[in-house]
Structure 1
Amino acid sequence: MIRFKSGLGVVIASGALALMPMQLSATDGVEIDHLGVNNTLVRVTGEGKYLILPVQESNDEAAVNIIVDGKLDRTLSVRLAKSKVDYTVPLNLERYAGKNVVLNITTTQNRSTVREAKEDACWSNFAVTDTFDTTNREKFRPAYHHTPLYGWMNDPNGMFYKDGVWHLAFQWNPYGSKWQNLSWGQSTSRDLIHWETQPDAVIEPDGLGMIFSGSSAIDKANSAGFGKDAVVAMYTSAAASQIQSLAWSNDGGYTYNVYPGNPVLTLESEARDPNMFWNPETKEWTLVLAHALDHEMLIFTSPDMKEWTLQSSFGKGLGAQDGVWECPDLFELPVDGSDEKKWVLLCNLNPGGIFGGSATQYFVGDFDGKTFTPDLDADGKVPTKWLDYGKDHYATVSFSDAPDGRRTVIGWMSNWQYAPEVPTMQYRSANTLPREMGLFRGDDGQLYVSSTPSPELEALRSKVFKSVGNMSAGSKPKKYAIPELCEILMTIDPAKAHSVSLELSNALGEHVDMVYDVKSGTLSFDRRHSGIVDFSQDFPAVTYAPVHSSDGKISLRIFIDRSSIEVFGDNGRFVMTNLVFPNAPYSTLDIKADGGNAKIPDFRIYTIND
């Protein structure tokens, strides 16, 4: 298990334990006054670091107004337990030390009398404590992918590299495992594998709204006036409207100060997810902003991150146009095997993904500092291209200031079609493995983005579990045992075979089927019988990726974790990311070919460090 350090004084560890809430007495540092069938006061009378909030996911949200010394500090939306406690979450009380704290709670329960309201499970499970147990209680929590210690997570945000540390912020609800109360949580890493979780949100909702997605950049020249090498974050403040705000950090990105002049950018229509970077050619800041409902990206420039000038727009009528456009990123990449460089514009959208729900499309073209001009295909049209051909790869954005000119990205490993319903509770959602972006020219003359696993990931390998050279595959499956956590590498030469199939299965008969169809030039991924699939009608699915092979041969690099499979083909020329929830780990790999024998000149299985 890859361990995640927690600022809560405990360490999260892997396990297949049932999720058991803490059973606490109403006398543990709180007094409760029921004022009516829908209104209750919870007074904090004891001393401790945390007030424990009991949650029941199926319940409606209650408005929890936090009153500090008689003044409203903030309001949370929490699914307080009614008939049972699914799990608990902590409210940090350290910020209120020495002050009077009262929770004025309004519920939406249908209660006929106060006596009936008193029976709700939450009231006997509030407590003040110095610790909060984040020990893992989820059998599907990944072993080597980043997850929040607890609570809901979606888009990666504000990612940057500084002083040897990768900073990954993310959309986070600390008060439940469904979407709400959005703030920026943060984890840090020195190797893109082991993540240390910061204990509290680094940017929290304020009077301008919840904290939606955005980006961070290092202001090396102090252009914004926050200090040389300040880390400046730009994000969407979301309430009745969506507006753009700033915060800055002078301690390397561990704590932020909210800019008192917010908002710095407003529009008359919905726009969000600002992604900004310093352009050394024009010597100014460039901002790409998603004009969500208009299905376009707006490009602004600024000398100081505070005053922004609209320069152009891109995207109306181009690419996939369903749903909303979100989470842009714009960067330059070299073209493999040449001296040419081109710009890539990432555009995440939901719904409208190639296999339904959310996905990441991209455009390749030129950028002159003000306008992005896309490349055209042989028919004179702007082609639609997809960064990942799985169901579970969204909100992909890159780290700013990555070392050695790298363009390193991370995505959200889920899909808006079913993200709130996946079979976990203590936490929801993980990030993809970090990936390196590149550009290659396909046989059709078009430029495509490649996504290769970041080089740091080779350190995950523990030992060679199986190694076979010059193997052949025919109609009778060859069976190999596989460990629960593993990386599989193989080269496939189909020779005369029409297709080559890989099946991952367990003793319960659950299985994932991957088929390389030589004629169509595709690799399919079928998870319809992969394990738990009935939580959403959109989860059972088959996805397909074009393999971009000129000679029919392909290489595969497959990462298997407890609830995900990521397939990288031909050095990242095609990628598929899909969640799976098997009731028991996959333990067998079957390889077979139809229509003739195929050659497998190289086949290795590595166990993954835990």
Structure 2
Amino acid sequence: MKQIKLLYVAMLLVVCQFSDGEVQAQERTKEAYRPQFHFSPKKGWMNDPNGMVYLNGKYHLFFQHSPNTTIWGPMHWGHAISTDLVHWQEQPIALYPDSLGTIFSGSAVVDKNNTAGFGQNAIVAIFTHHNKTIEDAKTGLHQYQSLAYSNDEGKTWTKYKGNPVLPNPGIWDFRDPKVMWHESSNQWIMTLATKQSITFYGSKNLKDWNRLSEFGEGLGAHGGVWECPDLFSLSVNGIKKWVLLVSINPGAPSGGSGTQYFIGQFDGKTFTAEHTDTRWIDYGADNYAGITWSNTGDRKIFIGWMNNWTYANLIPEQGFRGAATIARDLKLKKVGDDFYLASVPVKELSVITGKANQLNSVKVNKNYDLSAKIAPFEGKYQLELTTAERASFSLHLSNSKGDELIIGYDKVSNTFYTDRTKSGQVNFESSFARKTIAPRIAKGNQISLKLLLDATSSEVFADEGLATLTNTFFSSAPLSRLHIKSSKPFMVQKIKYSGMK
């Protein structure tokens, strides 16, 4: 989304027109609730990110899309492309519903060795067909896995005539295939959500699949159905681990939908977790169904749906509903004897980050006012701070209308939090006005916190991404005031702030 300075009011959609069927670039708009540096569709409904794949300098983002409604409806695969993970150009719809069903979530891979026979370097999408007619018959056979492929880098798609390639064995929730190439076992691995477990399948050609194993019994959160899994490896200090992401709805720590993760080992057949505690990639209310891009080598880039199924169909809309989180790099970090998953904004965000200003050795005596410094950013900025000690503090983001978003750290409970109970429009759903809380995982006394603030979202990355809180809000005007508050005096070693262009 191309960045320009905007007045907060004046609702006008700005898009670039291209001739001869060329796509329209998603441009900055003057809609009050349109994210300004997060992807959102030009119109219609968006939920899960799908089929993310990198090829020839372009990041492809497909997503669950109902183009003609602003509530969940018949699922298509929408499509957007970026060269920098920040500026997105929305493309024509990639996959439409057909006689086998609507197009639910899935993934995409680059078939470098033409294992499927669709062509060398074909992009192959692996997705769930959802058949409403069969669902209504209550047989439990209404979800099955299918293929489509593109030989022109995602411009046009052909659905495989042999679909479905993985019929339903009788599992009601049988969906969201995430596929990767596993070098050691020389096969494609499909990670599939199967009710309240994950089932792994293997294939040499993407067409013929064999069941390998199942994971999940007695581990993790089971308050709702498991969805949108992802399996990938990460290394830290020469130690390789496997990470399994599993989204769940409901059952997240902040209520409604969220994404848990497991760290362990995968041998080409079986995933074994190395911990028994339940861990979450984000403790905020609005980061769901996130997965990583394929074909990016050792770098694992994640993006999620910035919404929550509890109120997704009810949030304020202006011809569109739904947006994506900022793209994030995933890393392993060792804390004590354990490994944890951390996420931080991608470095490419620097292309829209303005010149940074920095304050050093700031003593906060109950209230420190930064409003004059951040007001020119019109509620869209990046803030980083590092404390000299572990002390309770809070950031109060507000406006002249009385809206307030509070982000902070509580020393007694050793937790970070975001409180949006008075952030603006909150009455469209009974639970939206909530305080979300993340446990602190880091052990040191020094606390670091990074905040990304957009028109309708706050993303908090504490202790280099070990604790993350993503929350949406709908204020009546930009949050152009900022105060750092504490009950006792404390020292902030560094405050760094910059506008988002």
Question: Normalising to structure 1: TM-score of the pair?
Answer: 0.75
C-alpha distance in 2 between matches for 1:355 and 1:145: 22
C-alpha distance in 2 between matches for 1:400 and 1:516: 35
C-alpha distance in 1 between matches for 2:317 and 2:428: 11
Matches within 5 A, 1:142-161: 142-161=35-54
1:252 paired residue among 125, 132, 153: 153
Secondary structure at the aligned position of 1:519 is classed as coil
Alpha-carbon distance change, 374 to 244 in structure 1, aligned in 2, over 3 angstroms: same
- Structure 2 match to 1:480: 371
Matches within 5 A, 1:435-514: 435-443=328-336, 445-464=337-356, 466-481=357-372, 482=374, 483=377, 484-494=379-389, 497=391, 499-514=392-407
- Structure 2 match to 1:2: 2
C-alpha distance in 2 between matches for 1:516 and 1:299: 39
C-alpha distance in 2 between matches for 1:509 and 1:3: 27
- Structure 2 match to 1:70: none
Contact 2:29 2:36 in 1 (8 A): no
The letter for the 1-side match of 2:270 is T
Q: Which runs of 4+ in 1 moved over 6 A?
A: none
1:18 to partner: Cα distance: 4.7
2:487 corresponds to 1:588? no
1:15 to partner: Cα distance: 6.2
1:551 to partner: Cα distance: 2.5
| Cα-to-partner distance string for 1:365-412 (whole Å, 9 max, x where unaligned) | 100000001113xxxxx1110000100000010000015x20001000
C-alpha distance in 1 between matches for 2:27 and 2:8: 12
Secondary structure at the aligned position of 1:459 is classed as helix
Contact 2:3 2:352 in 1 (8 A): no
Matches within 5 A, 1:16-415: 16-18=9-11, 136=29, 138-198=31-91, 200-239=92-131, 240=134, 241-266=142-167, 267-270=169-172, 271-292=174-195, 295-335=196-236, 338-376=237-275, 382-403=276-297, 405-415=298-308
| Cα-to-partner distance string for 1:420-447 (whole Å, 9 max, x where unaligned) | 111113100110000011111223x221
Alpha-carbon distance change, 15 to 518 in structure 1, aligned in 2, over 3 angstroms: closer
C-alpha distance in 2 between matches for 1:182 and 1:501: 41
User: Greater CA radius of gyration, 1 or 2?
Assistant: 1
C-alpha distance in 2 between matches for 1:406 and 1:137: 35
Alpha-carbon distance change, 135 to 407 in structure 1, aligned in 2, over 3 angstroms: closer
C-alpha distance in 1 between matches for 2:454 and 2:345: 15
2:409 corresponds to 1:541? no
C-alpha distance in 2 between matches for 1:412 and 1:249: 25
Contact 1:134 1:150 in 2 (8 A): no
C-alpha distance in 2 between matches for 1:152 and 1:138: 16
1:316 to partner: Cα distance: 1.9
| Cα-to-partner distance string for 1:466-501 (whole Å, 9 max, x where unaligned) | 431110112244343322210011112236x4x112
1:549 to partner: Cα distance: 3.1
C-alpha distance in 1 between matches for 2:199 and 2:184: 20
The letter for the 2-side match of 1:500 is F
C-alpha distance in 2 between matches for 1:534 and 1:503: 21
The letter for the 2-side match of 1:368 is D
The letter for the 2-side match of 1:471 is V
1:14 to partner: Cα distance: 8.4
1:238 to partner: Cα distance: 0.1
C-alpha distance in 2 between matches for 1:501 and 1:144: 25
Alpha-carbon distance change, 14 to 277 in structure 1, aligned in 2, over 3 angstroms: farther
C-alpha distance in 2 between matches for 1:136 and 1:476: 35
C-alpha distance in 1 between matches for 2:257 and 2:382: 26
1:135 to partner: Cα distance: 8.9
> Structure 1: any 5+ residue segments left out of the alignment?
5-12, 21-93, 95-130, 377-381
For this pair of structures, how many residues does the alignment match? Answer: 477
Question: Normalising to structure 2: TM-score of the pair?
Answer: 0.92
2:414 paired residue among 491, 505, 521: 521
C-alpha distance in 1 between matches for 2:11 and 2:79: 27
Secondary structure at the aligned position of 1:560 is classed as strand
> Structure 2: any 5+ residue segments left out of the alignment?
14-20, 135-141
| Cα-to-partner distance string for 1:67-88 (whole Å, 9 max, x where unaligned) | xxxxxxxxxxxxxxxxxxxxxx
2:496 corresponds to 1:604? yes
The letter for the 1-side match of 2:268 is G
C-alpha distance in 1 between matches for 2:7 and 2:128: 35
- Structure 1 match to 2:17: none
1:283 to partner: Cα distance: 0.8
- Structure 1 match to 2:139: none
1:134 to partner: Cα distance: 9.4
Secondary structure at the aligned position of 1:527 is classed as strand
C-alpha distance in 2 between matches for 1:383 and 1:156: 27
Alpha-carbon distance change, 430 to 254 in structure 1, aligned in 2, over 3 angstroms: same
Q: CA RMSD in A?
A: 2.1
C-alpha distance in 1 between matches for 2:12 and 2:46: 18
1:578 to partner: Cα distance: 0.3
Contact 2:2 2:28 in 1 (8 A): no
Contact 1:359 1:392 in 2 (8 A): yes
C-alpha distance in 2 between matches for 1:137 and 1:488: 24
Secondary structure at the aligned position of 2:421 is classed as coil
The letter for the 1-side match of 2:109 is A
The letter for the 2-side match of 1:246 is L
Secondary structure at the aligned position of 2:417 is classed as strand
Alpha-carbon distance change, 182 to 155 in structure 1, aligned in 2, over 3 angstroms: same
The more displaced of 599-608 and 471-480 is 471-480
